[in-house]
Structure 1
């Protein structure tokens, strides 16, 4: 749960906002949207109490638009991405996206007054990929280091990886998915994701 909670707190930092429509320094973007979304969660008791409709709506609106899913999928599949057919690639992205949304949405209601400490950003003005380093401060708990790998896509910043306490989200999933593909091929992995998403959906009813 600590891992899921940390991912959530990280993801709300890169939620959709009008500021994303203009190229601003990556840390300014992150902090501005973090303030917006944290404010929503703090004020909405339904979200804190696990209202699924509101939780998923918030995840869809504030998290999904800020992920470069094409890039993420290529990273987590590695060489297996180019070996997959177009249909398999599309099916994987659809199911992986659903898995991430459900994972993060399930953690939205767990937010309880965590705060974010931003470390100084070191980037050149023309950098297209930037790592934002932060600490998640938890009342009564140890601070957690969370790094956000963002890249400039068009006129916005998009997230392509999150590293929690030194563990990369992309690397973690790549290991899991590589194992599944070795055992059951690409179709086997996709079916595993389909089953897991159905199971998660049924558990929330």
Structure 2
């Protein structure tokens, strides 16, 4: 009897292993299927923004706050802040980094609803995304009357989610623009004075 039990166990082990492998494969496939591609993220965001704006002549109050949330929903503000501050990021304490990223994020959120031309374009073209491992680029071209805007979203994966860490508008990096401005201000005065100006600008936006 003991021998038959051992044989029974030996026969069931491969079957159990196979079932476990199939379950794990199914779970991985489900996660991949649910994951939005970089292109889908940009498209869905733009569609939602267009729906919120609609035919409104003026954006204010709750609508403006909702737009800020949607437009910046997939931004990696910590990486964007690091790139914008450049070489001065490493010189900051952890608290200074947090403070800067917090203020910078709020300023970006405020500025994101000041120019909405891209979402009110006559047509919007999406180019084939460039995906290389955990990094991607999605380029959109907006046409409005005789104007043309090209925006490239630079994205990377953070906790298995695609996030934007920089944007190129007509070939010019947004992070680099801010970095050039910050470098000039810090060279003329100091990091503290530059940071204090950002805080004052944020207060004036309220």
On whether the aligned pair clears a TM of 0.5, the verdict is yes
CA distance in 2, matches of 1:105, 1:71: 21
Structure of higher CA gyration radius: 2
CA distance in 2, matches of 1:42, 1:82: 43
Moved more, 31-40 or 77-86: 31-40
- Counterpart for residue 131 of structure 1: 137
Deviations 1:37-83 (A, max 9, x none): 2222216x3xx413233202321x21333111111111111110010
Q: Name stretches of at least 5 consecutive residues in structure 1 with no aligned partner.
A: 1-20
CA distance in 2, matches of 1:107, 1:114: 15
User: How big is the shift at 1:34?
Assistant: 2.1
CA RMSD of aligned residues (A): 2.2
CA distance in 1, matches of 2:130, 2:52: 30
By relative contact order (CA 8 Å, sep 6+), the higher-ranking structure is 1
Contact 1:76–1:173 (Cα < 8 Å) also in 2: yes
Match of 1:96 among 91, 104, 107: 104
- Counterpart for residue 29 of structure 2: none
Change (3 A) 1:27 1:90: same
User: How big is the shift at 1:179?
Assistant: 1.1
User: How big is the shift at 1:170?
Assistant: 0.6
- Report SS of the residue matched to 1:170: helix
Contact 2:45–2:70 (Cα < 8 Å) also in 1: no
Moved over 4 A (4+): 108-111
Deviations 1:150-194 (A, max 9, x none): 111113211101101111101100000111112222211110101
CA distance in 2, matches of 1:35, 1:64: 14
The within-5 A match list for 1:1-205 is 22-42=34-54, 45=56, 48-59=57-68, 61-108=69-116, 112-124=120-132, 127-138=133-144, 140-201=145-206
- Report SS of the residue matched to 1:67: coil
CA distance in 1, matches of 2:113, 2:176: 22
Contact 2:49–2:67 (Cα < 8 Å) also in 1: no
TM-score by length of 2: 0.76
CA distance in 1, matches of 2:131, 2:146: 31
Change (3 A) 1:113 1:63: closer
Change (3 A) 1:73 1:110: closer
Change (3 A) 1:113 1:198: same
CA distance in 2, matches of 1:37, 1:111: 7
